[in-house]
Every structure is written in C-alpha cells, then in structure tokens.
Amino acid sequence: MASPIIEMRGLTKRFPGVLANDEVSLSLHSGEIVALLGENGAGKSTLVNMVYGLLTPDEGSILVDGEEVNIRSPRHAIDLGIGMVHQHFMLVNPLTVTENIVLGAEPTRLGAIDFPAARASVRELSSQYGLKIDPDAVVRDLAVGMQQRAEILKALHRDARVLILDEPTAVLTPQEVRELFSVVRSLVADGLSVVFITHKLEEVMSIADRVVVMRDGAVVGETRPADTDMAGLARMMVGRDVVFRVEKKPSRCGDTVLEVNDLSVLDERRLEAVKGVSFSVCAGEIVAIAGVSGNGQAELVEAITGLRRPAAGTIALKGKDITHGTAREAIETGVSHVPEDRHRRGLVLEFNLMENMILGDHRLAPYSKRGVFDYNVISEVSKKRIADYDVRTPSERVKAEALSGGNQQKVVLARELGRDPDLLVAAQPTRGLDVGAIEFVHSQILAERDSGKAVLLISLELEEVQSLADRILVMFEGRIVREFEAGEASDEELGYFMTGGGGAKFAEATVEGGAVDG
Amino acid sequence: MAEPSVATRGQKIAHLLRELAVPVVSVMLAMGIGSVIMLVAGYDPLVAFPAMLKGAFGGGRQIGETLLRATPLMFTGLAVAYGFRAGLFNIGAEGQLFLGGLSAAWLGIVLAGLPQPFNIVMMLLAGAAIGAAWAFVPALLKAKVGAHEVITTMMFTYIGRYIVSWLVTGPLKAPGQIPQTSQLPPESTLPRMHDLFGFLAVSRVHLGFVIGVLVAMLLWWVLKYTTLGYEARAVGLNPWASETGGISVPSTTIKALCISGALAGLAGVTEVMGVHYRLHDQFSAGFGFTGIAVALLAKNNPLGVIAAAILFGALSAGAGTMQLEAFVPTKVIFIIQALIILFVAAEQLARWIIGRTRRVGVEHAS
Ligand SMILES: Nc1ncnc2c1ncn2[C@@H]1O[C@H](COP(=O)(O)OP(=O)(O)O)[C@@H](O)[C@H]1O
Ligand SMILES: [Mg+2]
C-alpha cells in the first residue's frame, strides 16, 4: 500500500487528571474513509484536535506525507491540506455562505474582495461534490445541515486533501445524514481522505472503509465493516456486551394519567404550533410522539410541563385540570420532565450535583424546612442517586459542567425519576448519548413504565420509538396524523407519515370532514 | 444543616487560594503600575506606599478611619453583589442609598425621645424597606416587560437624588443657610465604636461597621443555605433551567432586586445615623458606584465584600497621609482604584499571568 497521507505515532495528551490520549497511533491513506468510533469522552476530539493544530501533543509525532511535522495552528494544518468540521460550527452568523467560505482565503482584485469570483468558486465546488447550497444565504437563517455544508465547502475552498468530520451527524436529521453520506462518498471518489468521528454504529457500518475504535483514550481495535457487525463494534467500543432491542413485557394499561383534549399551542412567533391535539396516556404505558423536529412536539411538551400557556384546549393529570398551571404546579402535581436540551433546561451547569439533584424539589421537605436547606439529607440523597443511576463522578460536590454528556443526562434522570412522578415526559432523552448510556436510559424508562408510571416519550429516533413505545402517535405540522400500536408500523411507514406522506391529504380531510386525530 | 465535610482541609485551602488568586494579583498589579506612574511623575513609591499604609493601619485612629470608610462600601458592595448573583446589575445602588438616608433623617427626628436600641432597629428596617421600594419599580419593569435594570435603576437614582435635593432645600430644610435637615437627637444615632473597643482611640467608626459585617455573614448564609438564595443563584446562572425546575423567574428577579435595594438603603441609613447625623445632598461620595467595584473585586462573595470594602476604605483613608508625607496627590489613589477594577474585570488577563507564573514555577521545579 502507498504511504499514508497522515500518520499519527504514539500520540499522548494529558489534561489535569485525565489521560485523554494514551499513545494513539492511526494512519490515513488517500481516498479512504476511516471511522473513529468511541463513546463520549473516549478521546476522539482530542486526537483530531492535535492533528488540526488546536492542541499540542505531550508525546508522539505526526507525519504528513511521510515527513514529521509540528502542527502549530489550524492555519498550519490548513496549509498542509488538512480541513476540519468541528462538533460545534465555527461560522460567522451574520455573514453569507460565500463570505464565510472565503473568509481568510479571499480571492482579491485590486485589494478588494472579488465577490463574483468568490461566488463562482463556491458554485463550482458545490456542484462538483453535490453540496447544494445558496451562496448568498445568510448563515444565521440556514438549517444546521446547510451550515454544515458551508463548513465543508470552507475546508474544500482551502484545498483540503484530508477532511476531518467531528461527530457530523449528531445534529442532522436522517434525511440530512443520507445527503451527507453521499457528499462524503463523492469526496473520496475524488481522492480526498476522510476521518469520520461518530459514536453511532449504523453510520460506521454504512460509510467506513476502516474503523478504528477508541476507549478511555486508547485505540482498542481496528477492523473493517465487512469483518464485523454492530454487536461486535458495540462490544469493542463499550468493552462489554450491549443489548440493543430492550426486552419488554406487554403493557398493562391502568387508569388514565394524562388527558390532553383539543390542545392548541402557539410558538414564539405566535403561530399555531400545536393544532387541536387530543390523546391520553394511561398508567403503565409508554406513548411515543414520533415526528421530525419542529412539528410542534417542543410546544406540546412545554404546554404539558407548565412552561407555555396553551391557547385553547385542556390538559388534565389524573383528572385534575393543569391546563393553565405553572411549571411548579406541574411538578407538584406529579409531572417530571426530562427536557430536550439538558444544558439549557435540564441542569444549572455551574451548580454542583447536590444542587442540581434538588432542582424543582428544593422547597420541599426533607431537603428544606421553612426555607432552610438540610445539606446532610441533600448530600445523602444525592449520593444514593449517584450510585443508583451509576453517575460517574468523583463526588456529589463536582459541578455538573465537569461531567460527560451521558453522566449529565443520568443526573437529570435521577432527579426526575427520583421524585416518583405520575407522569414522565421525556424529550429526546438519549440525544447525543453513546450506546452504553442509551441502554441505561431506556432500561430506566421501561422500569418506570413497569412500576405503573405513565410515560410520554418524544423522539426523533425511530429506533428508540419502535423499541420503547406501546403506542406511537405520529406528529406532523402540529397535528397527530396517525396512531399505531407497538410493532404495527414499519420504520418506512412511520417515516412516510412523519414527513407528511398522506399528511397533507389527511389535513384536508380533517378540515372538510371534521374528523380529528385517529 | 451543617455541611458534612468531604473535601480534605488541604483541598479546601487550595480551592480558597485559587479563588483569591485573581483579586490579589489584580491588587498587586494595580499597585505596581501605580508605582510606575508615581516614578514617572517624580514621586517615590517607596515613600508613598509606606505612608499610605501608615495612614490606613498605623494606629487605632487610622484603623478606625479605614473601617469608617469601608462601612458604606460594604453595604453597597453587598447590594451589587447580591444582584449579580441573581443575574441583575443594580447600577442604581446610589439612588437607593439616598432614599435610605432620607428615611433615617426623617424618622430619626420623629422618633426623638424613644430608647436608642428601638430607634436603631426601626430606622434600619425603614431604610431597608424604602431602599427595597426604590428598587421595586425597576424590578417590576424588568420582570413584566423586560426593561433592562441598568437603565431603570440608573433613572431611579436621578429621581431619588433630586427628590433629596429638593427636600433638603425645601420641605425638610433645617433653619439656617445650609441646605440640610435638622440634626438627629443622640438616641437616633449609631454609637461610635471606641466606646466599645478602646484601642480604636477617638476615631469616628461607628456600630454600622459591625452591622455591615453581620449582614454580610447573614447574606452568605442566605445564598448558601436557603431556598431564597438558591433560587436567586439558579436564576442568575440559568433562567431556563430554573423555569423548568418550577422557579418563577419574574418573582425571583423582583425579590433579588428588592433585597439588593434594601442593602443599599442600609448604606444610606448608617451614613446618616453614624457619620453626618443629618442629611444633605452631598452625603454620599458615590458609594453606590464604588460598591460595584467592591462587588467585582469580591467576586460577588458576601464575605469577600468585607475584605474588598476594607481595602477600598484603606486606600481612601491612606490617601491623605500619602499626600501629606510623600506629596503624592490623592488622585493617584483613584488611578490605583481604577486599575484594580480594570484588572479584576479583565480576569482573563490576571488568570493568564497566574498561569504563566505557575508554569514557569513548575518548569523550574522539574
Ligand atoms: N480542554 C480540556 N481540558 C480538560 N479535559 C479535557 C479537555 N478536553 C477534553 N478533556 C477530557 O479528555 C477526555 C477526552 O475527551 P474528548 O477528546 O472530547 O472525547 P470524545 O471526543 O471522544 O468525546 C474526556 O475525559 C474529557 O473530559
Ligand atoms: Mg468529541
């Protein structure tokens, strides 16, 4: 085989208290897609950040085209033909796509930026690799998938031969993922090499030529998709066997817990986001709302949890009307909420785990009496929950921001389930988590159901919906367009209704016939 | 209620040192640059700083003077710090302070003849209440329509100051030429501390200082051990998560800004009761604004506010001696104060310098 474009030899990187990379070696050949697979915190970003000049290795060396280089800065990496799209995009929001792409490498004419030339070059690149994008759109107004394209184009504009994508699919819809994959394939067909970082197994199986698996800062294995399967990859990544489809007893539906009737909710722009939705959830049942993001699920959740005032309709919990209640009243009546965005809504990142564990219950005994905290109790409860929910942390006094995403989510779950609610509203409870953590979260949600709680699950992941739900409600453009029993619908069928297949017709029929929600 | 100690004493001390590093380095940097400025201007810092130190801590009287000047800054520093903890910038402590002073100057006369302890308690409560009331309208505007408190509390400062100006030149004016209120009867004043602590000699420091320290300790406890303080901190750090956790952001905002206003009101009360014994419209040397610097230097920690207020008090008390003995204009002290604020605000810079020195230290060690 020809000599690799990039070779990392024994790279080691230490952070205070963490060995983030332990003598990691990896090589990348031209025209190759290498998937870098590992749980959150395995050290994937650290490794590529060293290659991109953002971090300096403590030990080891990096060879580009067989020559040892000391990559000092991203600028230097770019000069060496290495481009990278970060987990968090680095675009200038108020500028247009073209401006962003040429920023730092502007074609100039008489000292001024030559915009026609810039636009032309963006057009050319974008048609060459099937990266369709409007060069004059302002970045702020673009969907995430489009912003990612702009990032990729930016790297290509700088003549990257190697493209590093750090968890590129974390923010994409399934459709956008498919488009990204075809872009990546056309890039390698043209001779580029791609490092594709992910913790999602099915992505590795479908895109990678070669898989390098990392765990706890070290490379634990290397293989080809053809030589393994998802279970094999999962075992390598987590270090033990992983259950994919959870074993589920049939649900025993008890009393109705949540009853939503003809509910309408407005969004920030005062447009109707939820349009007359009715459904109920009974004790011991998981009802999943499946839908593509932005079809009213977020507003529905906010209405049920008291964060947003409905415009019309009613919400009742165990027969008690909570339509216009506050979030505090919702919590106190028995609604627990695992919010979609745990950093924004789920946790106070600068609070320690004890303080986060009581958020929402902090006014109640035994945590506080007459407004004064009893830290002995709080610390004991926190320790117990940390143990019960297997939160990996040195102590309950660590700030939440110091934990990995999976452990942060466990803190939120521990708090919301520890409260012993009647209804659990879980919005995207496994977003951004790795398989080990997903397995844990799923088993906890099922345990809640089996102990007679009502669960309303909101998820974009069909896999999750299919494996957990007893009933599936498909939401499209603010309406529930279909209802399925567990196992009744295939992924394709769900996807069809989620994307409005038959939805438009259905909506018309609803208007004309007055028949609402199946 | 007691917090079980898990961290070892060593860890706790290390944590404390890390917390202290930025303020201490900022003060040292400011002094260093202040020295350079003195040198350039032809003064000798090696004479000036010892003179200042002598003026601030050289004896009982000097220490007393330092604490006297620290007292109003402690209250306004606490006021601003509490606001910051809840994510609010109460830039209008000065106005709340004026209203607090006004209430004391009026109530002190009304309560003439009643026992001193009773008067002290009543006047403190009334000043806190009116300070809170003066912050209430901006708080309400913030909570209901989102009007920014920096604008509204500042506006209320103007309103408050002009109301006081009008009252002391008109309705509440004492007989005579000077625009000021009548002198308070002794039973409506705060006793001086040299009656309690002989070593403070004949300095003017009064009971207000002790009250300030107690209030700071109380506030520290409130922030750490009560649901009231917890909700304020939660809203200050992450209003969305607070809302999700059932905390009402508007009502927490209102409570926090009113508490901040009450603390600033106390600054006015203690100045009137302990220093001037009456109200005139120059009775505050911008304490409300210096309080912002005190809070910044203290990193919004109530106990830190005690230390920061004493430092600012010392700078101000020592400035006179420095001018007398080293002929350095007192304005140099303002420069040093401004530099301290600059460095604390530019915490990143201080951190960078700390990081560098530490790295250098490690390299030398290895
Ligand atoms: N800048 C940093 N400072 C301290 N620790 C870090 C830093 N960056 C990463 N880490 C730690 O290094 C480990 C590897 O992190 P990372 O490379 O981001 O993992 P991955 O990208 O695989 O999720 C984690 O334990 C993380 O907490
Ligand atoms: Mg990463």
Per residue in A61-71, pLDDT tens? 999 999 999 99
Both tokens assigned to B272? 């009137």
Least confident of A389-398, B92-101, B215-224, B227-236: A389-398
Say if ligand 1 is within 6 A of residue A198 CB.
no
Q: Give the C-alpha separation, A513 to A503, whole Å.
A: 15
> What DSSP state is assigned to residue B294?
H
Cβ burial of A308 (10 Å; 0-12, 13-18, 19+) is: buried
Q: Give the C-alpha separation, A409 to A507, whole Å.
A: 37
Q: Please provide the average confidence, as pLDDT, over all residues in chain A.
A: 88
- The chain A residue lying nearest B222, using CA atoms, is A372
Task: Find the CB nearest A344 among B3, B241, B248.
Answer: B241
> What DSSP state is assigned to residue B134?
H
Over residues B271-329, the pLDDT tens digits come to 999 999 999 988 998 999 999 989 988 989 999 999 999 999 999 899 888 888 888 88
Q: Give the C-alpha separation, A438 to A431, whole Å.
A: 9
The domain boundary residue, chosen from A196, A215, A238 = A238
Instruction: Let me know how long chain B is.
Output: 366
Nearest-CA distance A296 → chain B (Å): 18
Beta partners for A19? Answer: A14
| A256 domain-assigned | yes
Least confident of A358-372, A410-424, B40-54: B40-54
Q: How far is CA A376 from CA A170, A347, A373, in A?
A: 40, 22, 9
Beta partners for A338? Answer: A426
| B119 domain-assigned | yes
Mutate to test the interface with B, among A373, A374, A386 (most CBs of B within 10 A): A373
Q: How far is CA B106 from CA A9, A231, A476, B110, B276, in A?
A: 79, 80, 66, 7, 13
| B352 domain-assigned | no
**Do A404 and A425 belong to one domain?**
no
**Do A427 and A392 belong to one domain?**
no
Over residues A238-295, the pLDDT tens digits come to 787 766 666 777 888 889 999 999 999 998 888 899 999 999 999 999 999 998 778 8
Say if ligand 1 is within 6 A of residue A406 CB.
no
Say what the pLDDT of residue A448 is: 92
Question: ω before B185 within 30° of 0 (cis)?
Answer: no
**Do A133 and A248 belong to one domain?**
no
Structural contact between residues A92 and A150, judged by C-beta atoms closer than 8 angstroms: no
Structural contact between residues B7 and B231, judged by C-beta atoms closer than 8 angstroms: no
Q: Give the C-alpha separation, B303 to B293, whole Å.
A: 15
Q: Give the C-alpha separation, A436 to B122, whole Å.
A: 62
- Tell me which ligand sits closest to the C-alpha of residue A88: 2
Structural contact between residues B91 and B312, judged by C-beta atoms closer than 8 angstroms: no
| A1 domain-assigned | no
Q: Give the C-alpha separation, A422 to A417, whole Å.
A: 10
Q: Give the C-alpha separation, A325 to A431, whole Å.
A: 28
**Do A281 and A373 belong to one domain?**
no
| B157 domain-assigned | yes
Q: Give the C-alpha separation, A450 to A444, whole Å.
A: 10
Beta partners for A483? Answer: A473
| A342 domain-assigned | no
Q: Give the C-alpha separation, A281 to A259, whole Å.
A: 7
Least confident of A34-43, A333-342, B189-198: B189-198
Which of A304, A253, A306, A308 has its CA nearest to residue A277?
A304
**Do A312 and A258 belong to one domain?**
yes
Over residues A127-182, the pLDDT tens digits come to 888 888 888 888 888 877 888 889 999 999 889 999 999 988 877 777 788 889 99
Residue A83, by phi and psi: left (phi above 0), alpha (psi -120 to 50) or beta? beta
Q: How far is CA B98 from CA A41, B123, B157, in A?
A: 55, 14, 8
Least confident of A69-73, B33-37, B357-361: B357-361
Nearest-5° Cα angle at A442, A439 to A447: 125
Say what the pLDDT of residue A244 is: 62
- Tell me if chain A has a CB within 8 Å of the CB of B355: no
Structural contact between residues B265 and B103, judged by C-beta atoms closer than 8 angstroms: yes
| B221 domain-assigned | yes
- The chain B residue lying nearest A368, using CA atoms, is B227
| A340 domain-assigned | no
As a whole number, mean pLDDT of residues B63-81 equals 96
| A144 domain-assigned | yes
- Tell me if chain A has a CB within 8 Å of the CB of B218: no
Which of A65, A25, A71 has its CA nearest to residue A52?
A71
SS3 B53: helix
* pLDDT > 60? residue A518: no
Task: Find the CB nearest A346 among B6, B225, B241.
Answer: B241
Range of the domain at A448: 244-334+421-518
Residue with tokens 């009116």: B130
Give just the sign of the alpha carbon dihedral A66, A70, A74, A80: negative
Alpha helices in A389-502 (DSSP H): 405-418, 435-450, 462-468, 491-498
SS3 A402: helix
Instruction: Tell me the residues of chain A between 364 and 403 that have a Cβ less than 8 Å away from chain B.
Output: 368, 371-376, 379, 395-397
Structural contact between residues B24 and B164, judged by C-beta atoms closer than 8 angstroms: no
Q: Do A379 and B246 touch (CB under 8 A)?
A: no
SS3 A393: coil
**Residue A414 identity:** A
Say if ligand 1 is within 6 A of residue A46 CB.
yes
Strand runs labelled E in A32-122: 33-37, 59-64, 67-69, 82-85, 108-109, 112-113
**Do A384 and A438 belong to one domain?**
no
| B215 domain-assigned | yes
| B29 domain-assigned | no
Structural contact between residues B35 and A426, judged by C-beta atoms closer than 8 angstroms: no
Beta partners for A266? Answer: A272
Q: Give the C-alpha separation, A381 to B13, whole Å.
A: 27
Residue with tokens 């920061």: B308
**Do A414 and A440 belong to one domain?**
no
Nearest-5° Cα angle at B251, B246 to B252: 75
Range of the domain at B92: 72-299
Both tokens assigned to A211? 């898989």
Ligand 2 centroid–CA A174 distance in Å is 20
Both tokens assigned to A40? 């959150």
SS3 A172: coil
Q: Do A376 and B233 touch (CB under 8 A)?
A: no
Q: Do B246 and A368 touch (CB under 8 A)?
A: no
- How many domains are there within chain B? 1
Q: Would you place residue A499 in the very low, low, confident or very high pLDDT band (cuts 50, 70, 90)? A: confident
* pLDDT > 70? residue B264: yes
Claim: this prediction has a pTM higher than 0.90? no
Structural contact between residues A421 and A429, judged by C-beta atoms closer than 8 angstroms: no
Contacts of A449 (CB under 8 A, 6+ apart): A251, A284, A285, A286, A455, A470
| Closest Cα to atom 27 of ligand 1 | A41
Give contacts of B8 with chain A, Cβ < 8 Å. none
**Residue B24 identity:** V
Both tokens assigned to A98? 């073209």
| A455 domain-assigned | yes
**Do A158 and A54 belong to one domain?**
yes
Give, for A354, the enclosing helix (H) or strand (E): helix A353-357
| A467 domain-assigned | yes
CATH code, A447:
3.40.50.300
As a whole number, mean pLDDT of residues A108-121 equals 80
Contacts of B166 (CB under 8 A, 6+ apart): none
Q: Give the C-alpha separation, A64 to A439, whole Å.
A: 40
Structural contact between residues A205 and A49, judged by C-beta atoms closer than 8 angstroms: no
Ligand 2 centroid–CA B260 distance in Å is 42
Task: Find the CB nearest A379 among B4, B7, B228.
Answer: B4
Instruction: Tell me the residues of chain B between 224 and 263 that have a Cβ less than 8 Å away from chain A.
Output: 225-228, 230-231, 233-234, 237-238, 240-248
Ligand 1 centroid–CA A408 distance in Å is 15
Say if ligand 1 is within 6 A of residue A392 CB.
no
**Do A227 and A252 belong to one domain?**
no
Over residues A424-465, the pLDDT tens digits come to 999 999 887 888 888 889 999 999 999 999 999 999 888 899
Residue whose CB lies within 8 A of the most ligand 1 atoms, among A13, A15, A213, A433, for a mutation test: A15
Both tokens assigned to A155? 């790297």
Structural contact between residues A218 and A24, judged by C-beta atoms closer than 8 angstroms: yes
As a whole number, mean pLDDT of residues A16-29 equals 90
Distance of CA A462 to the CA centre of its chain: 14
Contacts of B348 (CB under 8 A, 6+ apart): none
Over residues A183-240, the pLDDT tens digits come to 999 999 999 999 999 888 888 999 999 999 999 899 999 999 999 888 888 888 878 7
**Do A134 and A220 belong to one domain?**
yes
Beta partners for A24? Answer: A11
Q: Do B244 and A349 touch (CB under 8 A)?
A: no
- Tell me which ligand sits closest to the C-alpha of residue A49: 1
> What DSSP state is assigned to residue A399?
B
Which of A276, A271, A272, A300 has its CA nearest to residue A288?
A300
Over residues B323-335, the pLDDT tens digits come to 888 888 888 888 8
Give contacts of B231 with chain A, Cβ < 8 Å. 362
The domain boundary residue, chosen from A418, A439, A459 = A418
Question: SS3 letters for A144-171?
Answer: HHHHHHHHHHHHHHCCCCEEEEECCCCC
As a whole number, mean pLDDT of residues A414-429 equals 94
The complex's ipTM works out to 0.86
| B312 domain-assigned | no
**What would the DSSP string read from start to end of A226-269?**
GG--HHHHHHHHHSS----SPP-PPP---SEEEEEEEEEEE-TT
Q: Would you place residue B351 in the very low, low, confident or very high pLDDT band (cuts 50, 70, 90)? A: low
**Do A181 and A47 belong to one domain?**
yes
Residue A432 CB: number of other CB atoms within 10 A?
18
Q: Do B242 and A348 touch (CB under 8 A)?
A: yes
Q: Give the C-alpha separation, B168 to B184, whole Å.
A: 14
Mutate to test the interface with A, among B220, B224, B225, B227 (most CBs of A within 10 A): B227
**Do A414 and A431 belong to one domain?**
no
Say what the pLDDT of residue A517 is: 39
Give contacts of B233 with chain A, Cβ < 8 Å. 351
| B15 domain-assigned | no
Nearest-CA distance B5 → chain A (Å): 10
- How many domains are there within chain A? 3
Q: Do A337 and B233 touch (CB under 8 A)?
A: no
The domain boundary residue, chosen from A204, A238, A272 = A238
Which of B237, B320, B333 has its CA nearest to residue B290?
B333
Residue A512 CB: number of other CB atoms within 10 A?
8
Ligand 1 centroid–CA A46 distance in Å is 6
